[in-house]
Amino acid sequence: MNRPIRLLAFTGALLVAGQSAQAAEPQAVYASTCAACHASGVANAPKLGDAAEWQRRLQRGGESALIETAIKGRGAMPPKGGNAALSDADVRATVLFMLSQSGRPSGAAATAAKAAPARAAAPAARPGASAPGQQTYELACAICHKEGVLGAPRLGDA
């Protein structure tokens, strides 16, 4: 390997290491990773805001069991929501945020709930406007459809 390529690889490794050391915002993690399933209930995922379903899940094993499932995966739930770059602490904070948005503010979840920005209504789609569609795909659909998770058809498959 020549020197410029080694330098580029080393610099890239430092950037990745620096990014993973920073804690991700739970709201951003939810939007980029979790919302793909938890916004609509795909694969029986409890919907964000469905207090009754989240309470049922909590009764099965408590907060720690939910966090462990989110980190390690179980059934249709992939480990770390399919985002291996997340730290365990990021996943934990995001689960607490999701609980707080589903009627259970306490501790760190209450702090996350207070910090959550208000959601603006999505703009109406315009015919021929592909940028918003691509952004939606990247934020919500790609988590499953990019790799064909759980049999989801890959983008471009006929």
Using a pLDDT cut of 70, give the percent of the chain over it. 65
Conformational region of residue 81, where left means phi above 0, alpha means psi within -120 to 50, and beta covers everything else:
left
Lowest average pLDDT, out of 12-16, 37-41, 61-65, goes to 12-16
Distances (CA, A) of 78 to 39, 90, 121: 16, 15, 29
Lowest average pLDDT, out of 51-55, 87-91, 144-148, goes to 144-148
Put simply, whether the predicted model's pTM sits higher than 0.85 gets the answer no
In the predicted model, what is the mean pLDDT of residues 3-32?
Answer: 59
Which domains are present in the chain? 23-115+129-149 (1.10.760.10)
Whether 108 and 93 have beta carbons less than 8 Å apart is answered as: yes
Which residues, 6 or more positions from 121, have their beta carbon under 8 angstroms from its beta carbon?
none
Query: Rounded to whole angstroms, how far apart are CA atoms 125 and 21?
Result: 37
Query: Rounded to whole angstroms, how far apart are CA atoms 51 and 46?
Result: 9
